[in-house]
Amino acid sequence: MICKSGTCLNVRHLIKGLIIIPNTPKTSKPRLIATISLPFPLLPAYAASTLYQAQLEQEAFNQCIQGMSEYELCQLAADEFSMTMVEDMGCLAGNYVLE
């Protein structure tokens, strides 16, 4: 290899008098396959992590509402969720009209 001003040239091309073509790095197929297939094992790990986090949040919420009265549950639904959730729980009917 001969390098001049940042361009490396193949010596064979110089000797044979052929057109001088700068060398470009070539990507091998195994490296390309490895690069493409790397995210695939990470996807199930991400899904498992997300599922585990959701399960922890559900357990924390269940512990939070443990022992609450119906009125307190309706207040929590109004504070934490939408009015649609409050209506679905039946909080607007009867004695649990929210302020």
Percentage of the chain beyond pLDDT 90 is: 16
Asked whether the predicted pLDDT for residue 24 surpasses 70, the reply is no
Query: Would you state the pLDDT for residue 56?
Result: 95
Q: At what angle do helices 39-65 and 29-37 cross, to 10 degrees?
A: 10
pLDDT score of 11: 53
Q: In whole angstroms, what is the distance from residue 63 CA to residue 77 CA?
A: 15
Res 51: pLDDT: 96
Which pLDDT belongs to residue 87?
A: 83
pLDDT at 40 exceeding the cut of 60: yes
Q: How confident is the model at residue 12 (pLDDT cuts 50, 70, 90)?
A: low
In this prediction, residue 92 carries a pLDDT of 77
| Distance separating alpha carbons of residues 69 and 63, to the nearest angstrom | 14
C-alpha closest to that of 1 among 18, 16, 22 = 22
- Distance, in Å, from the CA atom of 43 to the CA atom of 50, rounded to the nearest integer, reads 11
